[in-house]
Structures are given as C-alpha cells and as structure tokens.
Homo-oligomer: A and B are copies of this chain.
Amino acid sequence: MYNPTHFSETDGIEIARLCQEYPLALIVAADADGLTANHVPLLRDGADFIGHVALANPVHGKITSQDPVLAVFTAGDGYVSPNWYPSKAETHKAVPTWNYQAVHVHGHFVFSHGDAIKRRVVSRLTHHFESLTNGSSGWKMGDAPSDYLQTMLDGIVAFRLVVTRIEAKSKLSQNRNRADRDGVENGFEGQGNTLMTAAMGRQNRD
C-alpha cells in the first residue's frame, strides 16, 4: 500500500494488537480467474497465522503455496473534516482526509486436510476466542457430540499463512500539529467513533 514514512506503523506491539483485536482479515489472492478475497479470522502462531476455510470454498484448490497472498487487518476509520483543525481558522490551509489503521500481511498459504492438524487449529482458535468471549466458562470442542464435531471438521480445510512481510499504517494526522491532532480526537469523540478516538488518544500520548 501507499505508506509515507510519517504514517508508517513500525511499533511491533501496536501491529500485534491490531491483528489480535481485529482478527477478521480479508485474505486476497490472484488466480487464473482473477482476484479472489475471503473474510477469515486469523490467529497468530509464532511468526505465522493459522485459520481455516470451508471445504466448499474453492480458494484452497486454486491457490498453491507458490502464489502470493495478502491478508489485510483493518481497525477503525473515519472522515476528518478540516473544520476540526484549530489551525484552519488561522491559515485555512486544510483539506479533508481519512484516518485509519491497517496491517497488510504478505505471505503464502499452506493448506492441510489432515484431521490432526485441523483439530489443532480449530482447538487453538476456539480456546482463544472463547476465552475472550466467555472467560473460564467458554465452549469447548468436547461439548459437541463427537460424530457431529467430526462432520464439522470434515467440512473445513486448515491453513498456515506463512508470513514473508508485514506492512502497517497508522494514518492518524501525524502531519498536523498537536492542537490539530487534539481537534481530530475531539471530532471523532463527538461522533461516537470510539475506535478512532482511542487511536488518536494513543498517538497523541506518545
């Protein structure tokens, strides 16, 4: 993506946070039929990401481990009005823009049809998201009848997204002065845009 230095996000902790808090990635690949994109939750596993798709999803038959894949995690976003900048009243040198945060993960897929790997991937995803949602009373794979669970597992394909490059962008008015950045934070807050208010706040406190 177009990523000028002043907007480039290089903080590994912030990049990891964005991938963890906004886990539904858009996974894009190009095959002979053109561009294909699927919305799939991803979980970090060491330097890579793991996940699964439906067996009925043709993506796993079309994309080989040689094909480039891009997974995009998107956090909040919002329109920025020039009226939000205190400096606008003095210089009028301001135009609208859009703020957002995103992480682009480049790599390739390794798909797995094996039962053991599929169970491991589903177990890890389940444990992670159930802990976040229901704490210690989370749903477990063992709660489902084993024949039903097996049918569900037979209907998916697991994958590892082997990461070759990560690029992230926090477009948060870093090119404006502090008063203007505070104005943007206030503008988002007034709209009830909690994600961007928090993002501006983190950036303004740095």
**A contacts, CB < 8 Å to B:** 1-2, 4, 24, 26, 28-30, 34-39, 41, 53-54, 56-59, 68-70, 72, 74, 77, 79, 81-83, 88, 92-96, 98, 100, 102, 104, 106, 125-126, 129-130, 132-134, 137-139, 143-145, 148-149, 152, 169, 191
Contact = CB atoms under 8 A, between A and B. Distances in A.
A117 B169 CA distance: 29
Nearest to A140: B82
Given A4-B56, A92-B148, A93-B145, A28 B24 contact: no
A62 to B, nearest CB: 11
Q: Binding site of A, secondary structure by majority: helix, strand, loop or mixed?
A: mixed
How many copies of the polypeptide does the oligomer hold? 2
Nearest to A53: B2
A134 B53 contact: no
A95 to B, nearest CB: 5
A83 B35 contact: no
A39 B1 CA distance: 8
